[in-house]
Amino acid sequence: MSKNSNLKDDVVIDMPSSVTGKNHSYMKFIVSSSGLLKQLQAISGVLNSNNPLPILDNFLFVIEKGSLTISASDLETTMTSKLTVEAKSNGKIAVPAKILLETLKTFPEQPLTFSIDEKTFGIEISSDYGKYKLTGFDGEEFPKLPVMEGTRSIELSPDVMLHAINKTLFATGNDELRPVMSGVFCQLEKDSLTFVATDAHKLVRYKRTDAKSKNEGTFILPKKPLTLLKNILTGTEQSLMINYNENNAFFEFGNISLICRLIDGRYPNYEAVIPAENPNKLTIDRSALLNSVRRVSIFSNKTTHQVRLKINGSELHISAEDLDFANEANERLSCEYSGEDMEIGFNARFLAEMLSNLDSDQVNIEMSMPNRAGILTQADGKNSEEDILMLVMPVMLNN
């Protein structure tokens, strides 16, 4: 069969031996091997290595009116994708994910014929090279999708969502005792959209004034679905529709949808943590500071990762030491500074993370006292519709 053969004209479906019995009904469809692989890879990030239910080790295939809907789930998050296939009957089957993905990766582009015995759940795949048999499972055992009732919605460009995820995800916490802080808080208002993440040591507030919502609302999105969205939104241009209610959020763009359970609980009052009066303001080249912090921190204590910032006039001294191993490093950078001379300590890893997640050439660091949080903002914000504030708690300096 030629690589580019027309599916409808050239493919003859061989009925597998397992489904020729009179009492057996069977489901058959023909699909492009690369088209199927692309859709499976887009949603396979949901799959866990240790699932609470064995059926979740499978993709759910549902054929309806010549359309194949594929689902993958871990109970908390479910992703679905649709593609057109050639099929004469409807039906559903759960197909083992690992063996299917591994097989599809080995094929060049060609039509594949799937023949499924609906009584035994036996699956036979026919390719240009031969036939492959595996055992599926009853599709009815697959968890049902939550019903989205009483939802509110907002439409966003994928770039806005992607930026929001990239700027906040790194600041989320991992404390199982405080689940609300393991997600990103979303605040929808009529004139803006705000995303907040914090782990109590660092905080990021990312605000957009070019994204508005008809309905005001708040919800907390878990880390895993945000990571999945980040992967699939990259490079896409279709608009993203978000529907949400008290329990779930539903993201839809193109032929892919993601539905996730929201984190239940009250998000901390993040505005109260941001110091209002910060008279000491440092402006410095972002990449110079980032590289300096990375270098100097190699010599810092491996438990605290402490770097010391000492500012006098237009000079910033950055230093670190590890007394246990007699390691130390000192660097000096020029900067613009207005305020009193001061000395403050930060966790180098947090500071470097924040600096690498800001886009501007110059950054502002605003401080009030050595025991109060430092605030990082972009000094030359290229996008006037984007407002980003990062806060990092200091570490006590050991003199």
Q: Please, which residues have CB within 8 angstroms of residue 320's CB and are 6 or more apart in sequence?
A: 296, 297, 299, 300, 301, 306, 307, 308, 328, 329, 348
Q: Of 4-8, 84-88, 142-146, give the lowest mean pLDDT range.
A: 4-8
> pLDDT of 119-135, one tens digit each?
999 999 999 999 999 99
| Average per-residue pLDDT for the chain | 91
Joined tokens for residue 300? 């810092």
Q: Is the pLDDT of residue 282 over 80?
A: yes
> pLDDT of 181-237, one tens digit each?
999 999 999 899 999 999 999 999 999 998 888 889 999 999 999 999 999 998 788
User: What band does 4 get if pLDDT is binned at 50, 70 and 90?
Assistant: very low
| Amino acid 17: pLDDT | 43
Indicate the domain borders of the chain. 7-141, 152-271, 274-395
Q: Same topology for domains 7-141 and 152-271, yes or no?
A: yes
Q: Which of 178, 196, 179 is nearest to 187 (CA)?
A: 196
Question: pTM, whole model, 2 decimals?
Answer: 0.89
- What is the C-alpha separation between 309 and 366, in angstroms, rounded? 13
Q: Is the pLDDT of residue 265 over 90?
A: yes
| Amino acid 235: pLDDT | 79
Inter-residue contact 375 to 365 (CB < 8 Å): yes
| Amino acid 365: pLDDT | 97
Q: Is the pLDDT of residue 28 over 70?
A: yes
Q: Which of 396, 350, 336 is nearest to 371 (CA)?
A: 396
- The pLDDT of 273-288, averaged and rounded, is 95
User: What band does 24 get if pLDDT is binned at 50, 70 and 90?
Assistant: low
CATH for 274-395? Answer: 3.10.150.10
For the chain, give the percent of residues with pLDDT over 90.
83
Inter-residue contact 181 to 173 (CB < 8 Å): yes
Q: Of 37-41, 126-130, 173-177, give the lowest mean pLDDT range.
A: 173-177
As its CATH architecture, domain 152-271 has Roll (3.10)
Q: Which fold has domain 7-141?
A: DNA Polymerase III; Chain A, domain 2 (3.10.150)
> pLDDT of 331-376, one tens digit each?
999 999 999 999 999 999 999 999 999 999 999 999 999 999 999 9
**Cα within 13 Å of Cα(181), Cβ side:** 17
